[in-house]
Amino acid sequence: MLSFILRRLLLVIPVCFGISVVVFLLIHLVPGDPARVMLGLQADEATVAAIREELGLNRPLPIQYVDWVTHALRGDLGRSYLTDEPVFAAVLGRLPATLTLALAAFAVSLLIALPIGILSGTRPYTKADYGAMVFAQLGVAIPEFWLGIMLILVFSLYLRWVPPSGYVSLWENPVAWLQHLILPAVTVGVVNGAVLTRFLRSSMLEVMHQDYVRTARAKGVAERRVITLHALKNALIPTVTVIGLQFAFMLGGVVVVEVIFAWPGVGRLALDAIARRDYPMVQGAVLAVALTFVAINLLVDIAYAVLDPRIKY
Amino acid sequence: MTAGSTIPAPGRLREAGGLSSGPLERLGDLWGVLRRSKLALIGLAIVGVLVVLAIVGPTVAPYDPNDLNVRQRSLPPSLNHPFGTDDRGRDVLSRVLYGARVSLQVAVIAVGISATLGVLLGAVSGYLGGWVDELIMRFTDILFAFPGILLAIAIMGVLGPSVTNAMIALGIVYTPIFARITRGSVLVIRSEVFVEAARSSGAAAPRIVARHVMPNVVAPIIVETTLSLAFAILAEAALSFLGLGTPPPAPSWGRMLSEGRSFIQDAPWMGIFPGLAIVLTVMGFNFLGDGLRDALDPRLKGVFDSAKDRG
């Protein structure tokens, strides 16, 4: 197991290298002169030249890259052009909000997918199952940002149960924190819950036809026990991988939903930075989300190996 | 995964296993199989209506989508304006109809780019193997290391909002999945006897790939293309919603939603109808994709899933 974890860790290195290259190259995708685009047409040539110098845009690409990476490894991702804030600190400051939202949304999606998936997987082609599948099909087709707006419309503007947007720190006021968290978490959670429901259903369906389930039933094990102890446990193994991948992909949804709910996470940071052409900040935010994504995938792979002893590495 | 389409038609069970019925032959009988899946038919109907609307939209739209009319601002749905009017007095129904054209155009071209690039890369990768394969696969790994929408946002963020850039950004994001699928299928086909026969009779590699390998890879690619279209519609809407996709005044669904967001309390129809259009379109492509998958290759069930499954 240890050697598997070590080998899996080693595999992360080339991926991180690739990510760093893509993120580094982002600024070179800017049409024309990045320094000029950032500062606008009014800026005088001297300021533009200074920025170009600071970004190292005059030097050959490979040297720029090595320079950028060595700085990045030391936690130096440059400075924002507007606030002069160090990018690394800004991104790190926003990451907890993004992760909180992702975790909350993840919890919501499990709360939705586990009961519905098990129910429809054990009672296929019944009315309840069709209902669940209609939900799942709708869920995968609804854009998160639209669902978010609709939830705001119903729960904030008409019913006035929760605030439409904003963020309150947990330490300041836990109740207000939860009130602000609930709508964005449900928005992302419902969509991802739909994906998980579909997967868990088919996984359960498959497991329910296995010999060991038949054996358990033949032995006279109560159906409830058969489902929870024999079927669910096995159905969950492939689901863990999907859950993990889904969690990682949820980061994409979170990025978009943050904008609607004025949630101060990395996604909003990135989009604000894009609007202000603050490219170093864009790079930092994209790097942070991509690295989180890789970290989650790594954890999922390890969890999978721990959960399923049949898999030899 | 979609109820009703899960059971392959009786006649197909026999064929699915044997090489005698290649996916191409199954393609010919596509309609026969699709017809048996209610969901696929619904999907086909939705997509068909949508394509027709996108083509004839300008002639059936009751108003000019960009016609400002200050005296008709924010009118609720009525007989004159079935979907109401927006904050500038533009007819929402007309804008939704024109939006279909924009959304479909971006989605089709973006997926076209990724399918072309991806299939080429995947075929080369799978057929040649060795370091070429290694290089291409590491490249796909890197693109897979980003949540798709984030990569699209980042690319659009630096390229700047335009329809062409949206097509390029989404095209890049979706290339690796096509490369992977093609490579996987090519690897399987490459070792088949008929390919070996072609090789031993002296056929050149490009010819073998084009004549013998590709026709057998078509099925999963058609499925993936359909499901990718659903993803691309969603992603284009998200980009436009964030102000990174189709620039104004072109009526795109995502942009209409972001405009409607500010008036959600006073004129909710501004946001509701473009959203419904997106949901319906994505469902159409997902249903059709699921149905096609079941029809073309029952063994592929569970390998693919609808757009969102991959984010």
B264 touches chain A (CB under 8 A): yes
Identify all chain B residues contacting A130, using CB atoms and an 8 Å cutoff. 3
pLDDT band at A36 (very low <50, low <70, confident <90, very high): confident
Per-residue confidence (pLDDT) for residue B270, from 0 to 100: 84
- Considering the domain architecture, whether residues A114 and A249 belong to the same structural domain is answered as yes
- Considering the domain architecture, whether residues A191 and A303 belong to the same structural domain is answered as yes
- Considering the domain architecture, whether residues A172 and A52 belong to the same structural domain is answered as no
The reply to whether A240 falls in a domain is: yes
For residue A226, give the amino acid letter.
V
The CA-to-CA distance between both ends of chain A, in Å, stands at 8
- Considering the domain architecture, whether residues A101 and A155 belong to the same structural domain is answered as yes
For residues B76 and B84, the answer to whether their CB atoms sit within 8 Å is yes
The reply to whether A88 falls in a domain is: no
The reply to whether B208 falls in a domain is: yes
Identify all chain B residues contacting A26, using CB atoms and an 8 Å cutoff. 154-155, 158
Identify all chain B residues contacting A273, using CB atoms and an 8 Å cutoff. 157
- For B73-91, give one letter per residue: b (16+ CB within 10 A) or e: eebeeeeebebbbbeebbb
Q: Which two tokens stand for residue A184?
A: 């964005």
Shortest Cα–Cα distance, B202 to chain A (Å):
39
Give yes or no for residue A312 having a pLDDT over 60.
no
The reply to whether B130 falls in a domain is: yes
Identify all chain A residues contacting B260, using CB atoms and an 8 Å cutoff. 149
Give yes or no for residue B261 having a pLDDT over 70.
yes
The reply to whether A85 falls in a domain is: no
The reply to whether A87 falls in a domain is: no
Boundaries of domain holding A213? 95-312
Say whether B147 and A29 touch across the interface (CB within 8 A).
no
Reported as a single tens digit per residue, the pLDDT across A16-28 is 998 999 898 888 8
Cα(A282)–Cα(A291) distance, integer angstroms: 14
For residue A208, count other CB atoms closer than 10 A to its CB: 20
Per-residue confidence (pLDDT) for residue A156, from 0 to 100: 87
Say whether B141 and A18 touch across the interface (CB within 8 A).
yes
- Considering the domain architecture, whether residues A212 and A288 belong to the same structural domain is answered as yes
Residue scoring higher pLDDT (A245 or A157): A157
Residue scoring higher pLDDT (B273 or B63): B273
Q: Which residue of B has its CA nearest to A251?
A: B147
Query: Average of pLDDT values for B122-132?
Result: 89
Give yes or no for residue B110 having a pLDDT over 70.
yes
Shortest Cα–Cα distance, B42 to chain A (Å):
13
The reply to whether A82 falls in a domain is: no
Per-residue confidence (pLDDT) for residue B25, from 0 to 100: 56
Per-residue confidence (pLDDT) for residue B309, from 0 to 100: 40
Per-residue confidence (pLDDT) for residue A104, from 0 to 100: 93
Per-residue confidence (pLDDT) for residue B300, from 0 to 100: 46
Query: Average of pLDDT values for B75-90?
Result: 77
Boundaries of domain holding B106? 38-57+89-310
Per-residue confidence (pLDDT) for residue B298, from 0 to 100: 54
Give yes or no for residue B79 having a pLDDT over 60.
yes
- Considering the domain architecture, whether residues A62 and A104 belong to the same structural domain is answered as no
Greatest CA span in chain A, whole angstroms? 84
- Considering the domain architecture, whether residues A65 and A102 belong to the same structural domain is answered as no
Query: Average of pLDDT values for B55-70?
Result: 76
The reply to whether B16 falls in a domain is: no
* CATH code of residue B223: 1.10.3720.10
Reported as a single tens digit per residue, the pLDDT across A140-150 is 889 988 999 99
Cα(B193)–Cα(B260) distance, integer angstroms: 59
Q: Which of A99-108, A219-228, B8-17, B250-259 has the lowest mean pLDDT?
A: B8-17
The reply to whether A216 falls in a domain is: yes
Q: What's the domain count of chain B?
A: 1
Reported as a single tens digit per residue, the pLDDT across B155-205 is 988 888 888 999 999 999 999 999 998 998 888 887 788 888 888 888 787
Q: Which two tokens stand for residue B266?
A: 């006073």
Query: Average of pLDDT values for B236-263?
Result: 86
CB contacts < 8 Å between A and B, how many?
Answer: 174
- Considering the domain architecture, whether residues A112 and A65 belong to the same structural domain is answered as no
pLDDT band at B12 (very low <50, low <70, confident <90, very high): very low
The reply to whether A83 falls in a domain is: no
Q: Scan residues 234-253 of B and list those with Cβ closer than 8 Å to A.
A: 234, 237-238, 241-244
Say whether A30 and B158 touch across the interface (CB within 8 A).
yes
- Considering the domain architecture, whether residues A28 and A141 belong to the same structural domain is answered as no
Q: Which residue of B has its CA nearest to A37?
A: B158
Per-residue confidence (pLDDT) for residue A309, from 0 to 100: 67
Closest Cα to residue A277, out of A26, A20, A92, A91?
A26
pLDDT band at B297 (very low <50, low <70, confident <90, very high): low
- Considering the domain architecture, whether residues A107 and A178 belong to the same structural domain is answered as yes
CA atoms within 13 A on the CB side of B171: 18
Of A150, A249, A273, Cβ closest to residue B310: A249
The reply to whether B20 falls in a domain is: no
Cα(B82)–Cα(B257) distance, integer angstroms: 17
Per-residue confidence (pLDDT) for residue B23, from 0 to 100: 53
The reply to whether A80 falls in a domain is: no
- Considering the domain architecture, whether residues A101 and A49 belong to the same structural domain is answered as no
The reply to whether B18 falls in a domain is: no
Q: Which residue of B has its CA nearest to A23?
A: B154
pLDDT band at B233 (very low <50, low <70, confident <90, very high): very high
Q: What is the mean pLDDT of chain A?
A: 85
Give yes or no for residue B35 having a pLDDT over 80.
no
Per-residue confidence (pLDDT) for residue B95, from 0 to 100: 86
Residue scoring higher pLDDT (B311 or B138): B138
Identify all chain A residues contacting B168, using CB atoms and an 8 Å cutoff. none
Say whether A253 and B230 touch across the interface (CB within 8 A).
no
Give yes or no for residue A170 having a pLDDT over 90.
no
Of B145, B287, B305, Cβ closest to residue A294: B145
A281 touches chain B (CB under 8 A): no
The reply to whether B157 falls in a domain is: yes
Reported as a single tens digit per residue, the pLDDT across A102-136 is 999 999 999 999 899 888 888 888 888 888 888 88
DSSP codes of every residue in chain B: --TTSSSPPHHHHHHHH-TTS-HHHHHHTHHHHHTT-HHHHHHHHHHHHHHHHHHHHHHH-SS-TT---GGGTTPPS-SSSTT-B-TTS-BHHHHHHHHHHHHHHHHHHHHHHHHHHHHHHHHHHHHH-HHHHHHHHHHHHHHHTS-HHHHHHHHHHHH-S-HHHHHHHHHHHHHHHHHHHHHHHHHHHHTSHHHHHHHHTT--HHHHIIIIIHHHHHHHHHHHHHHHHHHHHHHHHHHHHTTSSSPTTS--HHHHHHHHHTTTTT-THHHHHHHHHHHHHHHHHHHHHHHHHHHH-GGGBTTB--GGGG-
pLDDT band at B285 (very low <50, low <70, confident <90, very high): very high
Give yes or no for residue A207 having a pLDDT over 70.
yes
B229 touches chain A (CB under 8 A): no
Among A42, A73, A104, the domain boundary falls at A73
pLDDT band at B115 (very low <50, low <70, confident <90, very high): very high
Identify all chain A residues contacting B158, using CB atoms and an 8 Å cutoff. 26-27, 29-30, 274, 279, 282
pLDDT band at A101 (very low <50, low <70, confident <90, very high): very high
Say whether B307 and A140 touch across the interface (CB within 8 A).
yes
Measure Cα distances from B59 to A296, B12, B97, B106 in Å: 50, 43, 10, 21
Long-range interactions of A47-51: CB distance < 8 A, separation 24+:
A51/A81
The reply to whether B116 falls in a domain is: yes
Q: Which residue of A has its CA nearest to B308?
A: A140
- Considering the domain architecture, whether residues A35 and A147 belong to the same structural domain is answered as no
* CATH code of residue A203: 1.10.3720.10
Residue scoring higher pLDDT (B212 or B53): B53
Of B141, B145, B308, Cβ closest to residue A195: B308
The owner of tokens 């949540």 is B147
The reply to whether B66 falls in a domain is: no
Does residue A60 have a cis peptide bond before it, meaning omega lies within 30 degrees of 0?
no
Q: What's the domain count of chain A?
A: 2
pLDDT band at B303 (very low <50, low <70, confident <90, very high): very low
pLDDT band at B30 (very low <50, low <70, confident <90, very high): low
The owner of tokens 């119903």 is A154
Q: Scan residues 32-91 of A and list those with Cβ closer than 8 Å to B.
A: none
Say whether B282 and A141 touch across the interface (CB within 8 A).
yes
Give yes or no for residue B14 having a pLDDT over 60.
no
